[in-house]
Structure 1
Amino acid sequence: MLKRWRRYYALAALLLLGAPLVVGLVWPDSPAAVLKEGRRLAPPPAKPGSGADWLALPTALDAYLRDHFGLRQALIQAHKELTKPMLGMGDDAVLVGRDGRMFYLHEDAVRQSAGLVLRDQRVADTVALIKEVKDELRSRGVGFIVAPPPNAATVYQDDLPGWAQNGGKRTEYDMLLEGLAADGINAVDLRPVMKMASAEGPAYYRHDSHWTARGALAAYNAIVEADGRPNWRIDPGAALTPLSERKGGDLARLLGVQDSVTEEVEELALPAGSRELMTTDPYGDYVQTRGERGPTIMILGDSFTAGYFPQLLLQHAGRMIWIFDRHCGFDWKVIDKLRPDEVWWMPNERALICGPGTRPLDFAG
């Protein structure tokens, strides 16, 4: 019976496998669809002119066909849906891992930490922009350091399901650090720092996407050490409060369980100073001071640094400026207006790369 239908199964399989190629010829995806993946389209192979060219032709042809087959975006979306993680509970924004630890799924954060998404061209573009920024700051006598806070999924690998564990795969964080090192830019790899901190206490919240006071302090100490300011280090024993109960978190809120989950965490026991908002948004850019003398440090970052870092920096700095980096679209004029002594580039890992074509406003470069 099966032998009778075998030729039809073979024909169906051939049609299924050939459909993307046929659609690619008559109705291909637009180049913009591939550019959204953070890469450039592979060019068509050049006409071979030598023996070496003929040997390289299969690789060039394969790269071209991989970027030009039909139904590409539909197949990528289908793969994403079929591999969407579910472990016990969760939704399309939150993965609940082992022991109830929650991970943020949007912005490809978990897949990024696992090395399952590599937007190599956008990483390269980000490195190039960071170099331009560093050069412009250096011409003004302003110091510069890069220190991206890792995703929780990067730090708590053992709490993830098997498919989301990295297993040694290269990530965008790796690519960024490699590019910055090649350009001689001072950058701090906070991943081992945060893993070490997590062994000593809660470095990230269990029901929230952010790091805790302990995690922020560990990152701060590593940055000032790399910045040549070891005397700015702060002792965790003197800066952190005893463990206390904290309810909810941003990920718990997304799941609708914010009122039913708690965890024990430490807080910072440091003076915070006074804050002056630079916009009408209470969560927007601000300047914070404590009435002490010292250099001005500006952070280009996101919610990871908006909370704890003023208290940490103002133990030694005279003024702390926090600017939302807006995926590299921040207003460059604020640097010339406020004249910081140093700029710390600190967007979280999931916001590691600039938006497509995004540059700081009014930045000549």
Structure 2
Amino acid sequence: MSETRWKNAHRAAVLQGAAAVVLLGLGAWQGIEAIASPQGQQRLRPTLDVASFLSGTLTGAVNHVMAHELPADPLLRAAGGVFRYRLFGSGGPAVRVGCGETLFLTEELRPWPGGEAAIAERATAVRRVRDALAARNIALAVAVVPDKARVEQAKLCGVPRSAQAEARYDTFLAALGGEGLRPIALLPALSVVEARNGAYYRTDTHWNQEGARAAAAAIAAAVAEVPLTRGEDYRTTAAAEETDGPGDLLRVTSLDRVPDALRPRPDRQHLERTEKAEEGAGGGLLDEAPAPEVALIGSSYSVNANFHGALQAALRGSVLNAATAGGGFAGSAAAYFAGETFRESPPRLVIWEIPERVVAQPLTAAEREFIARW
């Protein structure tokens, strides 16, 4: 080997070695920072004993921290999200990209094993709850929220949708009807809004503020015969500054913290807030307000886009919002019916908001426990 070639090879080997040392140093620093982070310490603290070490629990906890708490993890995830979206037009396994930069949750599109049986079990559970509430002179209204992929199917633009998903909404409504229930179908009201301005956020799985208002109005109309006081006035105001919408699907695709040029443009909105109008001079600060006559249970649809405020305005009365983000079919229902508020201040009407996308999924252990109570 000539002296020049030898020097070049030696220089390359030195550079490779230096790069390896730098990478090893960076990796070690990342690992130390992950373990020292508050989240890492919280995860590791219960496993810092001999028994956990011998059983491998400590090793598993360390591996989990290394996989989820690295300081560079958000940057790496964002880079992967940008790579998928810009190069392949993909949102990853949990999100599908339609036309007009519209994002859809894969959960709404896929089939579920045993879906029809799960729908039937959930419909029976709703009927049991209805019967138990009726025995206490409490009315139940069931509002079924259609999938974004159903209301905005024209924006799927070739994104495949399973046959089960296509039939799921009507199947669930029919199952509820077969149990003697009269569910509130929100699809017509949301379809009108969709044709006008769009009923759902482009980069979020939930209805937008206009869709939430339309859903609230449809529910109020459906329960018009329920004897409620309906004597309160509400005022809705919109923020002067336009801000980004919630964008949960941008978070799922790891595109929530990247420049707009590298991702679907965020939704924009003037955030609305609905509050009870100022009352007359007759009331005092110490006057005790009556318990709300209406309770709302449901999912994240009920805690987004000012739906709760729009519902109070449409009903002209206070509504206790017991819905929870991630509540699915019966998460918030189980918590509310088992809680002190329901026992001590039962409402006249319970509005149960149920997302279409959850009704065909396999029942969880918590759901089966909830159903068994009724």
Instruction: Give the TM-score category using the shorter length.
Output: 0.5 to 0.7
Residue 167 and residue 342 in structure 1: after superposition, are their counterparts in 2 closer, same or farther (change >3 A)? same
CA contact (8 A) 1:293 1:317 kept: no
CA contact (8 A) 1:87 1:97 kept: no
Corresponding letter in the other structure for 1:198: E
Aligned counterpart for 2:266 among listed residues 231, 239, 262: 262
Alignment pair present for 1:139 and 2:145: no
CA contact (8 A) 1:148 1:346 kept: yes
Aligned counterpart for 2:351 among listed residues 344, 350, 353: 344
The number of residues matched between the two structures is 259
Residue 219 and residue 291 in structure 1: after superposition, are their counterparts in 2 closer, same or farther (change >3 A)? farther
Corresponding letter in the other structure for 2:188: P
CA contact (8 A) 2:216 2:310 kept: yes
Aligned to 1:104: 105
Work out the CA distance in 2 between the residues paired with 1:363 and 1:340.
23
TM-score, structure 2 normalization: 0.59
Aligned counterpart for 2:310 among listed residues 300, 304, 312: 312
Work out the CA distance in 2 between the residues paired with 1:243 and 1:118.
47
Residue 295 and residue 208 in structure 1: after superposition, are their counterparts in 2 closer, same or farther (change >3 A)? same
Aligned counterpart for 1:154 among listed residues 150, 171, 180: 150
Aligned to 1:301: 298
* 1:190, distance to aligned residue in structure 2 (A): 1.1
Work out the CA distance in 2 between the residues paired with 1:327 and 1:117.
17
1:203-352 → structure 2 map (5 Å cutoff):
203-228=199-224, 244-246=242-244, 249-259=247-257, 260=260, 261-271=265-275, 295-307=292-304, 308-315=306-313, 316-324=316-324, 325=327, 327-329=329-331, 330-331=334-335, 332-334=337-339, 335-352=342-359
Task: Note the alpha carbon deviations across 1:216-270, whole angstroms, 9 max, x for none.
Answer: 11001001111126997x9xx9776789342661111222322423333354242
Task: Note the alpha carbon deviations across 1:29-54, whole angstroms, 9 max, x for none.
Answer: xxxxxxxxxxxxxxxxxxxxxxxxxx
What's the secondary structure of 2:132's corresponding residue?
A: helix
Report the structure number with the largest CA radius of gyration.
2
Higher relative contact order (CA closer than 8 Å, sequence separation 6+):
2
Corresponding letter in the other structure for 1:213: Q
Work out the CA distance in 2 between the residues paired with 1:117 and 1:244.
43
| Worse-matched range after superposition: 258-267 or 218-227 | 258-267
Residue 109 and residue 242 in structure 1: after superposition, are their counterparts in 2 closer, same or farther (change >3 A)? farther
What's the secondary structure of 1:111's corresponding residue?
A: coil
* 1:323, distance to aligned residue in structure 2 (A): 3.5
Alignment pair present for 1:127 and 2:126: no
Aligned to 1:198: 194
| Worse-matched range after superposition: 332-341 or 158-167 | 158-167
Corresponding letter in the other structure for 2:338: K
What's the secondary structure of 1:346's corresponding residue?
A: strand
RMSD: 3.8
Work out the CA distance in 2 between the residues paired with 1:356 and 1:141.
30
* 1:295, distance to aligned residue in structure 2 (A): 4.5
CA contact (8 A) 1:246 1:264 kept: yes
* 1:158, distance to aligned residue in structure 2 (A): 1.0
CA contact (8 A) 2:274 2:310 kept: yes
Residue 291 and residue 118 in structure 1: after superposition, are their counterparts in 2 closer, same or farther (change >3 A)? farther
TM-score, structure 1 normalization: 0.61
Instruction: From the two aligned structures, give the one with the greater helix fraction.
Output: 2
CA contact (8 A) 2:298 2:330 kept: no
Stretches of structure 2 lacking an aligned partner (at least 5 in a row): 1-86, 278-286
Aligned to 1:35: none
| Worse-matched range after superposition: 198-207 or 316-325 | 316-325
What's the secondary structure of 1:225's corresponding residue?
A: helix
* 1:126, distance to aligned residue in structure 2 (A): 0.6
* 1:185, distance to aligned residue in structure 2 (A): 1.2
1:4-19 → structure 2 map (5 Å cutoff):
none
Q: How many percent of aligned residue pairs carry the same amino acid?
A: 23
Corresponding letter in the other structure for 1:133: V
Residue 217 and residue 166 in structure 1: after superposition, are their counterparts in 2 closer, same or farther (change >3 A)? farther
* 1:145, distance to aligned residue in structure 2 (A): 0.8
Aligned to 2:280: none
Stretches of structure 1 lacking an aligned partner (at least 5 in a row): 1-85, 274-289
* 1:188, distance to aligned residue in structure 2 (A): 1.0
CA contact (8 A) 2:108 2:165 kept: no
Corresponding letter in the other structure for 1:355: L
* 1:320, distance to aligned residue in structure 2 (A): 1.4
